[in-house]
Chains A and B, each alone.
Chain A
Amino acid sequence: MTRTNLNRFGTLIAFVLLCIGFSIAAPAAFASPANVFNLVQQMATLAIVATAATLVMTISEFDLSVGFSASLAAVICFVLFGQGYDVWLAVPAALLVGIVGGAANGVLVARFGIPSFVATLALGTILSGFAFGLSGGQSLFQSVPDGFKSLARGDVFGIPVLGFWIVAVLGVAAFVLTQTEFGRRLRAIGGNAQAARLAGLPIVRDVIVTFAIAGGLSALAGLLLASRLGSVQHTMGEPLLLPAYAAVFIGTTASPTGAPTVAGTLLGVAITGVMVNGMTIVGVEPFVQKIMTGVIILVAVLLRRVGRAR
């Protein structure tokens, strides 16, 4: 195996070793079907938000509003339920808010040339303000329609429903990025925006669409989280932001050119998910878990750097 292959598959090997390690340390608890089921459920929302981050990072931008969009979508959905609206209205409305918020990010970045870091931070803060206002700052637990509960709870043939969401969302995203003209254009914009413009690509439109998709996916993640938990808080999406980007960065270590890929991101989500789950089972204290997760991210990216410098 050549060195580059070792680099590429190193992350995957690390993941497998991690799983084996936890299976040996806690065979009954970690490798049990119940825990795997649980693990998939825990990973789903993060996987979807991380996919949004992957798309935006493919065009070499950042979207810091993903967590805020997720919260706002969940709040809007629950507020509409409270007013007596049906699932078929509340869910699309919440998704639409996410898409519109994302598109607004895209307009700020592509049309007005505001650095995405600033634009999405500002817009995300505005979204979080709306979420705060609409929820009144309180947890919302009204009676939720059964149709909404079934979005993220339960299983089909023993496979958690959220597992299907992961497959569907990440599968479509991977197909779009690798097989379609749109995906090609996104890679071009991320690789060299100036050259992409001079090659006649519709950059402004593509950037806006990308941010809109990211906003829509974040909103979807927020709704799935709300469905699983059965309650909503106006800050519930915020903790997704950093792990999502951590997953994307870990994932880039598994790609040949260092560009983000959906498969890599899934690997990143799995690694962080297994770390937290496994360490909790083995009884590692939460603060140590955080430290370990940070160290893992650094080690993954450092190994990649060292490998590339050679």
Chain B
Amino acid sequence: MLELSGISRRFGATHALEDVSLALSEGEVLGLVGPNGAGKSTLIKIIAGADRPDAGEIRIDGTPVQFHSAHDAYAAGIRVIHQDAPLVPGFDTVENCYLGRAYPRRFGRIDRKAMRRAIAEVAADIAPELDLDLPVMFLPPAERQFVRLLRAVADKGRLLILDEPTAALPAEDAERFYDVLRRTRERGTSIILVSHRLDEIADFCGRAVVIRDGRIVARFVESEVKPESMIAAMGGSASERSTRATDTSAPKIIEIDGVTAGDLTRPAALDVHAGEVIALYGLAGSGRSSLLNAIWGAIPWVGKMRLAGADYAPRSPRQAIARGVSCVPADRHRSGLFVSEDLVFNKTLPLLSGYRRLRGLPVPDVKAEQAEFVVAAERVSLSYGDPKQLARTLSGGNQQKLIFARWANRHSKVMLLDEPTEGVDVMAKATIKDIIRAIAADGNAVLVSTSDRDEALELGDRIAVFRQGGIVRVFTRAEASAEALSAAAQSREAA
């Protein structure tokens, strides 16, 4: 139904896209893969009418079209679904699906029954388990994704473009999401899937294209769609699972005993040794992030903690920093970055008082800051143009590295990482994993909270699995396998 031929787009001297050609038929799923900054977003914008190509042609059902705005593309049935596209929290699914659409009317009043009928008809096809009458604020994150999908399909969407639809979902929920997507495809809807999770692309897409530096560098069909081949086409190499065993003779850095906090409702106990990486794996809301936040002093907690042999009771991140704890929070946009400030500002903020030129005078020495920034940036292999550029101009992976850089010039004892590779491309992912291992090798106790099972397996010297507000089991590397982790993390039996 969709054909692109020779699409090019330039921004100044850089070619964001060069001679890109694609075709997609009805009910077909195409995977779109590439490093951050490769041109994926530009391509999506062009297909969705939000940007116009400098050259090339777009055809829908064989007819050349020109999208002058996102409206035109919408009218042609093209729907872009962002993973965090806003829904109105207090509206139920039916009302959310009708946002921005003309309401059916009966005697001049909104015909709520007709609305519900129309949505229920589509929902029965693709997501029968979804509760249509509950305000979406009460739905779990996975089902909110169903709502976004339903909204796109119900309003005559013929081509769905999904950008990282499962980035915020744990593996189990991602599978449910793909079930829904599969049923959507069976109705004849075409889908373009953009994801950094290459195994999902491999499982779900009949075809995949790899974009690099604005060009399509590889096309794969059916059985060729494999993570290894896609990584190779992107210019990276597949990461390997570390085989290091835990050194239990190393001193215990952090001891957690009977701690409850936030989602962590059952007392947790865990010791982490120097130089060890512990992966905290579980669904969203299973308590793993709450444990990290408790150690960071960011949320109220009860229980007992010891750090390097002394009592440790942080009531704020400030106190945690003073004791040698460092943290890279989840969701860098909400909790980490200052996008309208420059890179140096973002890097030095938490330890700013360490840059005084005159002791006691709280005026930072800008030159010293910049010098340390350059060193730290090198350590986390941050690629940037100018230390004074704004943080928003970096790609996702580099933004994440920037947060890592905050702690790169000091000796921490404990490093807390919450979803450190979320929304980051494969290459940056590999670098970040190397950084994490280097931090541990430096003698840090590292705690990595993740919803990505493979990442837990790859990084964790031990893996603590969380379920329903408590640690259910701690696996050693030898005991851990994908199946065992999933089985331990599944919470369905109680639902």
Contact = CB atoms under 8 A, between A and B. Distances in A.
A131 interface: no
B340 A200 contact: no
Contacts of A257: 340-341, 390
Nearest to A189: B338
A199 interface: yes
A211 to B, nearest CB: 19
Contacts of B320: 200
B296 interface: yes
A199 B353 contact: no
Contacts of B318: 200-202
B4 interface: no
Interface in A172-212: 179-182, 184-185, 187-188, 191-192, 194-202
Given A188-B349, A200-B317, A257-B390, A182 B362 contact: yes
A181 B364 contact: yes
B362 A201 contact: no
Interface in A229-271: 257-259
Contacts of A184: 345, 349, 352, 364
A194 B335 CA distance: 5
B449 to A, nearest CB: 14
Contacts of B353: 181
Interface string B282-319: 00000000000000101000000000000000001110
A199 B362 contact: no
Contacts of A182: 362
Contact of A188 (B296, B316, B338): B338
Given A197-B317, A198-B298, A198-B317, A181 B363 contact: yes
A191 B353 CA distance: 20
B337 interface: yes
B329 interface: yes
Contact of A195 (B335, B362, B390): B335
Contacts of B317: 197-200
Residue in A180, A192, A199 with the greatest tally of chain B CB atoms within 10 Å: A199
9 contacts: A181-B352, A181-B353, A182-B362, A192-B339, A194-B335, A195-B338, A198-B327, A198-B336, A199-B349
Residue in A180, A187, A195, A197 with the greatest tally of chain B CB atoms within 10 Å: A195
B67 to A, nearest CB: 18
Contacts of A200: 316-318, 320-321, 350
B415 to A, nearest CB: 14
B334 interface: yes
A179 B363 contact: yes
Contact of B350 (A180, A191, A199, A259): A199
A191 B364 CA distance: 19
Interface of B: 296, 298, 316-318, 320-321, 327, 329, 334-341, 345, 349-350, 352-353, 362-364, 390, 406
Contacts of B316: 200, 202
A13 B362 CA distance: 35
A183 to B, nearest CB: 9
Contact of B334 (A185, A194, A199, A201): A194
Given A188-B338, A198-B336, A199-B350, 11 more contacts: A181-B363, A187-B341, A188-B341, A188-B349, A196-B349, A198-B298, A200-B320, A200-B350, A201-B350, A202-B318, A257-B340
Contacts of A181: 352-353, 362-364
B311 to A, nearest CB: 20
Nearest to B352: A181
A198 B406 CA distance: 12
Contacts of A196: 338, 349
A198 B335 contact: yes
A196 B346 CA distance: 10
Contacts of A179: 363-364
Nearest to B340: A257
Interface in A62-112: none
A181 B339 CA distance: 19
A60 B206 CA distance: 48
Residue in B318, B334, B349, B390 with the greatest tally of chain A CB atoms within 10 Å: B349
Interface in A139-196: 179-182, 184-185, 187-188, 191-192, 194-196
A184 B335 CA distance: 17
Contact of B341 (A191, A201, A258): A191
A12 B337 CA distance: 31
Nearest to A259: B340
A260 to B, nearest CB: 12
The 3 closest A-B pairs by CB, nearest first: A200-B317, A181-B362, A191-B338
A192 B352 contact: no
Contacts of B406: 199
Contacts of B345: 184, 187-188
Nearest to B406: A199
Nearest to B334: A194
A201 B321 CA distance: 10
Contacts of B364: 179-181, 184
A257 B339 CA distance: 10
Contacts of B363: 179-181
A43 B350 CA distance: 38
Contacts of B390: 257
A310 B244 CA distance: 52
Interface in A207-235: none
Nearest to A175: B363
Contacts of A258: 340
A182 B361 CA distance: 11
A192 B338 contact: yes
B329 A198 contact: yes
A191 B337 CA distance: 9
Contacts of B327: 198
B420 to A, nearest CB: 14
A259 B352 CA distance: 21
B340 A195 contact: no
Residue in B316, B329, B338 with the greatest tally of chain A CB atoms within 10 Å: B338
A44 B316 CA distance: 41
A92 to B, nearest CB: 25
Contact of A191 (B329, B335, B340): B340
A179 B352 CA distance: 12
Given A182-B362, A200-B350, A195 B337 contact: yes
Contact of B298 (A185, A188, A191, A197): A197
B321 A195 contact: no
Nearest to A199: B350
Contacts of A259: 340
Nearest to B338: A191
Nearest to B314: A200
A187 B390 CA distance: 14
Contacts of A194: 334-335
Contacts of A192: 334-335, 337-339
Contacts of A180: 362-364
A191 B345 CA distance: 12
A72 B134 CA distance: 51
Contacts of B362: 180-182
Contacts of B298: 197-198
Contacts of A195: 329, 334-338
